[in-house]
Structure 1
Amino acid sequence: MRERQASHDARPAREFEAFVAGAAGRLLHAATLLTAEAPDANPRARRLLTLALAHTYACWHRLRGEDPYDRARQYLATRYAREAWHQHAAIGRDRPRPPGTLAVLTPQERLIVVLRLYEGVAEEQAAALLGLPTERVRAICDRAITTLTHPPRGRAPTVRGPKVAPS
């Protein structure tokens, strides 16, 4: 009887381990895109992944047919959005940009681009997850794609004319 109970208790742990083995890489890549960190130096993304997996594990027994990947992605996105909002409010726009490809985007633009283009989340689902109107999600995504395809230029170099001797 005790062996059967131990086997029954170990089953969810094995299921979660299988889930992590299959989903952690993709979730880490999504988190790295969100944080705009370099893939080989991504401590913020790894922290987001750890928190998302811990949250998913904590509610594993309550999923009841719900997709655990969707739950983990949802937590990852909302946690990132909350942290990005707090950092933006505390630091302001003058903070240095991280080195990743999506670094030219605002945190909200990055979140929407990652959800829509990398994760394939429908506009309506992304809007519901973020608490925004669908039209707003579409507009932000369009603006972000424009920014990515036509990145803003840096400041123009100062051109100095020839020196003129005083007369």
Structure 2
Amino acid sequence: MGQRRAAAERLRSAEFAAFAAGAAGRLLHAATLLTGDPAAADALLCAALSRTYADWYRMRGEDPYAYTRADLVRRYAHRPWWHRPGDGVLARLTPQERLVVVLRLFEGVAEEQTAAQLGLPADRVRAICLRATTTLRSRPTAGGGVLAPPGQPQAR
């Protein structure tokens, strides 16, 4: 019995290590976009990956990336001390707008999935995303102009 359990633990560790090696970079980028702080992003990702490792056997059949991303989002949404926007482009957005923008635009999560993950109606997610993208496009650039939609000249 002890050898079987040890072999199962080695297998879990190897599977998880392979998953983490492939997904940690993208998840860290998403966490950094959310928190605006590399140290907070590291802590957020570490907590989410720890949960994924602990639940590895129970989540058979589920996508570990989606599982970890969902935990990352849940932890960010319910921990106000991670809501310290830095100097990045997303600094002007509220925490909820950041969540929607990162999930919808960076991660490519469908509107309905984003709504379900955040506990919001799909039309509310659509409105938040529209408001956030409008805010991001109206942000003054370093040259004093305003960011314009792709393919259009910048306003001066």
TM-score normalised to structure 2 length: 0.83
Residue ranges of structure 2 left out of the alignment (5+ in a row): 142-156
Deviations 1:20-42 (A, max 9, x none): 100110000000000123xxxx1
2:101 paired residue among 91, 104, 113: 113
Quote the Cα distance in structure 2 between the aligned partners of 1:8 and 1:131.
Answer: 36
Q: Are 1:63 and 2:51 an aligned pair?
A: no
1:26 maps to 2:31: no
The reply on whether 1:10 has 2:6 as its aligned counterpart is no
- Which one has more relative contact order, counting CA pairs under 8 Å at least 6 apart? 1
Fraction of identical pairs, as percent: 60
The list of structure 1 runs, each at least 4 consecutive aligned residues, that deviate by more than 4 angstroms after superposition, is 1-5
Asked whether the equivalents of residues 28 and 45 of structure 2 are also in contact (C-alpha less than 8 Å), the reply is yes
1:138 Cα deviation from its structure 2 partner? 0.2
In the TM superposition, residue 7 of structure 1 has moved relative to its aligned partner by 2.9
- Larger Cα Rg: Structure 1 or Structure 2? 1
1:145-166 deviation per Cα after TM superposition (whole angstroms, max 9, x unaligned)? 000011279xxxxxxxxxxxxx
Aligned positions, number: 141
The 3-state SS of whatever aligns with 2:65 is helix
Aligned partners of 2:90, 2:77: CA distance in 1, in Å? 15
Unmatched runs of 5 consecutive residues or more in structure 1: 89-95, 154-167
**RMSD, aligned CA:** 2.0
- The Cα offsets for residues 93-132 of structure 1, whole Å up to 9 and x where unpaired, read as xxx8521221011110000000000111000000000000
1:8 positional shift: 3.4
